[in-house]
Structure 1
């Protein structure tokens, strides 16, 4: 299901929605990890963007 781009409410930029393909791709591109690694990190650590980016950097060294 795609985000409703017309909604102007509170932003959730500090979260990564695993169900939104473009958000997972952005995390992959920014950190250099694979899709399976990105999804595993979301499953393990939750959807906090800062935590996910930190843990992804540990994977890529």
Structure 2
């Protein structure tokens, strides 16, 4: 997804951008986690969606 918050399409499937609230909401829903859990996972393993998914056990 572009960094345009008006573009509500699906976020980039490879990277998680925590500075975009709509992407945080999307990824929390996709992973079934809280924002705090998502931010902690990104801090631990980086912003790769694949790495975060694995870290969260999804």
Gaps of 5+ in 1: 6-11
Aligned counterpart, 1:19: 19
CA 1:52–1:4 in structure 2 vs 1: closer, same or farther (change >3 Å)?
same
- Which is higher, the Rg of structure 1 or of structure 2? 1
RMSD: 2.2
Q: How many residues align?
A: 51
Aligned counterpart, 1:50: 50
Gaps of 5+ in 2: 6-11
The whole-number CA distance in structure 1 between the counterparts of 2:49 and 2:14 is: 5
Structure 1's consecutive aligned runs of 4 or more residues displaced over 2 angstroms after TM superposition are none
